[in-house]
A and B are shown apart, each in its own frame.
Chain A
Amino acid sequence: MIHSLAILAPALLAVSTLVHLSPVDLVIIVFYFALVLAIGLYLKERANTGEDFFMAGREMTAWVAGLAFLSANLGSLELMGWAGNAYKYGILAAHWYWIGAIPAMLFLALVMMPFYHICRTHSVPGYLKLRFGESSRTLASISFAFMTVLMSGINMYAMAVVMRVVLGWDIHVSIWVSSITVAVYVALGGLRSAIFNEVLQFFLIWAGALLIPILGLVETGGWSGLKARILQNLTEQHVANPSSYTHLWSTLGDFGNNPMGINWVGIVFGLGVVLSMGYWTTDFLVIQRVLAAKDLRSAKLAPIIGAAFKMMVPFIVILPGLLGLALLRDPHTGNLLRLVPGDLAWSDAGRAQGLHGYDEVLPLMLARYCGPGLLGLGITALIAGFMSGMAGNVSAFATVWTYDIYGALINKRASDDAKVKMGRWCTLLGVGVSIGTAYLVMQSQSIMDYVQALFSFFIAPLFGTVLLGMLWKRATPAGGFWGLFAGTLSSVGMWAWVKVNPEAVKYVALSSRAQEQAQNMFRALWCCLICVVVTVVVSLVTKPRPDAELRGLVYGLTDVPHEEHVSVFHRPVFWAVVVGAVFVILQIIFW
């Protein structure tokens, strides 16, 4: 495949592109593909049992699990989509990295991880089976499998767009080359191979992307110089309330004061409490990495390590978007360059006019600063991001399909060998379905808005169900199922209502000015509340399970090992407090 890539490259590069790769750039990219495949081949011998293939032998250290936990989330949406959103919405996009991640990751580490780890589940739907029974597991696993392949397809699509815009590579070639590579190394080495590659990709992403903010801040004269340039440029373009692009909280008092059309209630409760908690504590894509930790302390430390690095990701994602607002100019006219929505930029008319989409801001900044060699590393960082996200989706899909759909509904007596074989085939199947999804997503208006809508369909109500299951022993199997069902149904219903009647947004998102992201926040909030209310009501009128059946699954009935014998510097709670303190300081600095 690498040979094929080398053969294809010269022909692909003949197309008119944003940048041109030199031979050294190509060597760097080809070396990356060779290394990830070599890791997959090397680890093939260690993927013979179900525990090895699906759970990486449950022997990962806190650092490996923590970096993989974060890297699985650093897909194309993080690198490109959020740089584009930073250009579109300003620094408000950083909320998705800070309040939209850090509290949830710390909550996962300190409160929820003990239950996941002690019950030795293979998956989040597996926990629902233990806590609420088969019906809740079936609903959660089918919705998760559906969402996962869609996410994977979105990753592929985003990568292919970058490759086309930046390098002129054919969109179809990019999709097939990257997805086949992921399929090979995950099918060979299972979760261990996916995790090893995710840690490698984590380093490559930072090595390739960190230069842009460093050089950008040098060019603009630091953060204050950057703010001044943004203010000047947006004022020139008659953008309303331009200072809102560089303030995190001070413009969230009213829906109309900021480019996202959201207020603090949506950010704090919709994003910080519901969507973020839902994603970081129940999305099996990321949880699977932590379940592979070797012991409870590692399992608790891993999300805290992930949170510490997550706080720094805006430096390589949000800052390039803001730098784009400050620095990008049309190379022909010298006028300020104004990026536009992707569907407009990538239409035939848009391409004829030389327009660029929001999601192109990161590649544009890459082209601005990176010469031969560095450009290859930057492109490798983008490819690594796409592939880590895709591998995360595919390995999680294979596990949920094998244990929670195939093993639970189709072949209940499947042997361990049969499950490993099914896992390998599912990896290939998942990649195949994802490729099909990528072609469907090409019709989508905005990558991130689409994904946020999906999150609120499935993730937000799932959080309500899992949280009640862990913290309230009175929650019954019927309550868990009907709460999850009602939450998911109400989310899809609200989304469809706004699609059919756009005026309904003033009811769903409390303001007719709410943009897509704000609508997702409020929809997530409402459907989670509906899930919780239905779960509580149904539980109170149905028979609870005996305490003996809930040991190891519910707060108050689970013996969590104490850590008094460990020094304070080795305790997860100490590092959680440190990360929490830095998080608060960042909010104040960028208020």
Chain B
Amino acid sequence: MKAGGSLSIWFFIGVSMLVNGVLITGAGMWEIASHADNPVLALNHHASIWWGGLLLIFGTVYCYRFSPARERPRNAGKS
């Protein structure tokens, strides 16, 4: 599904997941590096690292797969 120009909705989703993944993974690494004393960490098994990492991978794949550069030739081929 394309928007006004060549940007797909899936590209927006990729950007969102990628940015959130970077921020959350970064926050998780900071917690480990700074030995943060947060009781939540005992229960969440450092989810910031692995969950943030999953979002980052998902976002990267979507950004690449639906990037405007890759979509443009495909759209041109259809028209």
Contacts and interface: CB of A to CB of B under 8 A. Distances in A.
Is chain B a partner of chain A in the same complex?
A: yes
Interface of A: 22, 24, 27-28, 31-32, 35, 39, 42-46, 59-61, 63-64, 192, 196, 199-200, 203-204, 207, 211, 215, 218-219, 367-374, 376-377, 380
B44 A374 contact: yes
Contacts of B36: 371
A372 B36 CA distance: 11
B43 A215 contact: yes
24 contacts: A24-B26, A24-B27, A28-B23, A28-B24, A35-B15, A42-B3, A45-B4, A59-B1, A64-B9, A200-B12, A203-B16, A215-B43, A215-B45, A219-B43, A369-B43, A369-B47, A370-B47, A371-B31, A371-B38, A371-B41, A372-B27, A373-B52, A374-B51, A374-B52
B19 A31 contact: yes
Q: For chain A, what secondary structure do more than half of its interface residues adopt (helix, strand, loop), or is it mixed?
A: helix
Contacts of B30: 372
A39 B40 contact: no
A196 B3 contact: yes
Interface string B3-34: 11101010011011101100111111011000
Contact of B48 (A199, A204, A207, A374): A374
Contacts of B4: 42-46
A35 B4 CA distance: 16
A347 B30 CA distance: 40
Nearest to A19: B40
B47 to A, nearest CB: 6
B63 interface: no
A200 B44 contact: no
Which of A22, A43, A207 has most chain B Cβ within 10 Å? A207
Contact of A211 (B3, B15, B26, B47): B47
Contacts of B43: 215, 219, 368-369
A28 B20 contact: yes
Contacts of B12: 35, 39, 196, 200
Contacts of B55: 207
Contacts of A43: 3-4
A117 B13 CA distance: 28
Nearest to A192: B3
A207 B38 CA distance: 22
Contacts of B31: 371-372
6 closest Cβ pairs, A-B complex: A373-B27, A373-B24, A46-B4, A64-B1, A45-B4, A24-B27
Given A59-B1, A368-B40, A377 B24 contact: yes
Contacts of B3: 39, 42-43, 46, 192, 196
Contacts of B19: 31
A200 B9 contact: yes
B40 A196 contact: no
A203 B17 CA distance: 8
B17 to A, nearest CB: 7
A373 B9 contact: no
Contacts of A215: 43-45, 47
B26 A377 contact: no
Given A24-B26, A46-B3, A373 B48 contact: yes
A211 B16 contact: no
